[in-house]
Amino acid sequence: MAMLTITYYIYIIITLGLIGMGIYGFVLFVKLANRGIKALDIYINEKSNNKY
């Protein structure tokens, strides 16, 4: 019975770790997308200003 409890706690720790890493990965992806959008805006602004 004790082995089942230890296995259950290990499973919970691994699950919480994976959920935490997933949330952290999503935050990093959002930051990267935000930076990409800013870079794209700068690129479009420079290209549109050089036409005139």
Rounded to two decimals, the pTM is 0.71
Report pLDDT for 2: 74
How many Cα atoms are found within 13 Å in the side-chain-facing hemisphere of 44? 6
d(CA 46, CA 50): 6
- pLDDT at residue 52 greater than cutoff 60: no
Q: How confident is the model at residue 4 (pLDDT cuts 50, 70, 90)?
A: confident
The type of residue at 50 is: N
What is the longest distance spanned by two Cα atoms in the chain?
78
Look at residue 52 and give its three-state secondary structure: coil
* Mean pLDDT, the chain, integer: 92
Q: Cα separations (Å) of 35 from 1, 31, 40, 42?
A: 52, 6, 9, 11
Percentage with pLDDT > 70 across the chain: 94
Residue spans per domain, the chain: 21-52
